[in-house]
Amino acid sequence: MKLTFDLQFADNYKSQSQRVRVLTEQWVNDSVFCPNCGYLNIDRYPNNQPVADFYCSNCKEDYELKSKQDSVGKKIVDGAYRTMIERLQSSNNPNFFLLYYDLQNFEVQNFLVIPKHFFIPEIIEKRKPLAPTAYRAGWIGCNILLQSIPQTGKIFFVKNRQVESKEKVLTEWRKTLFLREEKEIKAKGWLLDVMMCVDKFKCKDFSLDDMYTFENELSKKHPDNRHIKDKIRQQLQILRDKGYIEFTNRGNYRIN
């Protein structure tokens, strides 16, 4: 996978933002395979497509591209808050490609995909309305909170300028497809919260008592639930049944 942009595609553009848009879209179009099915090429939708930027003609997955200069941060700016929340409830919500580039060398630093099944309202931050003097006065945008997404929801094709193998990308994608089976957002939110807790362990092995240390944290997120420990055990059982973690012995687990 070539990480440098092909500058000839931006020769006719003077605006830096337009040049970056053209270069990043062309790079994705030329370089990226579909992480869902492995198909070697994805295609661009025509400009101004309301839902997505790219699609796979083989498995019909949609992808929206967000590009940003420099390193991966804690959040990424997206469009209208209301539109995003409505999309989370729809069947055509796209997956997200995130591309981080070095503008000095015109090359990709990081490129990852966040599968759509990781998107719930809790990871969408509502921005302040635009000022009355603004062109779109009152418009409310949103941010995607990357720090609120489990690490397994950030699947890198390129990480710190190092290209990951296709096999690794496809394996990591398949690992969390079980989340698509959960249509109820609150239930999915519980699974993702427990997955976030599991992420915080420094090694792959952990115990039920380790998980109980997150009781207060989870209680604040779910104030209506008075049986947090029971819920933790239930979510671990689901994650075990789906192959995300494995049971090693009484009260002990390992991350797969």
Read off the pLDDT of residues 79-126 as tens digits, 9 standing for 90 and up: 899 988 888 877 778 999 999 999 888 899 999 999 999 999 999 999
Q: What per-residue confidence (pLDDT) applies to 127?
A: 94
Contact (CB, 8 A) for 254 and 240: no
Q: Which helix (H) or strand (E) holds 84?
A: helix 81-88
On the question of a common fold for 7-181 and 187-255, the answer reads no
Contact (CB, 8 A) for 232 and 244: no
> Strand 245-249 and strand 252-255: pairing?
antiparallel
State the architecture of 7-181 in CATH terms.
Answer: 3-Layer(aba) Sandwich (3.40)
How far apart are alpha carbons 176 and 171 in whole angstroms? 9
Q: What per-residue confidence (pLDDT) applies to 97?
A: 96
What is the distance between the terminal CA atoms of the chain, rounded to a whole angstrom?
A: 28
Residue 207 has pLDDT above 80, yes or no: yes
Q: Locate tokens 């492995």: which residue?
A: 38
* CATH 1.10.10.10 correct for 187-255: yes
Q: Which residues contact 12 (CB under 8 A, 6 or more apart)?
A: none
| Residue type for position 128 | K
Q: Which residues contact 43 (CB under 8 A, 6 or more apart)?
A: 29, 54, 55, 56, 57
How far apart are alpha carbons 63 and 116 in whole angstroms? 9
How far apart are alpha carbons 249 and 168 in whole angstroms? 28
Read off the pLDDT of residues 165-196 as tens digits, 9 standing for 90 and up: 999 999 999 999 999 999 898 999 999 999 99
Is the alpha carbon torsion for 219, 227, 176, 52 positive or negative?
A: negative
Contact (CB, 8 A) for 43 and 57: yes
How far apart are alpha carbons 22 and 110 in whole angstroms? 18
Read off the pLDDT of residues 78-89 as tens digits, 9 standing for 90 and up: 889 998 888 887
How far apart are alpha carbons 31 and 248 in whole angstroms? 40
Q: How many CA atoms lie within 13 A of 69 on its CB side?
A: 9
Q: How many other β-carbons are positioned within 10 Å of the β-carbon of residue 164?
A: 16
Q: Which residues contact 182 (CB under 8 A, 6 or more apart)?
A: 188, 191
Q: Which helix (H) or strand (E) holds 254?
A: strand 252-255
Q: What per-residue confidence (pLDDT) applies to 50?
A: 63
Q: Delimit the domains of the chain by residue range.
A: 7-181, 187-255
Whole-model pTM?
A: 0.91
Residue 3 has pLDDT above 70, yes or no: yes
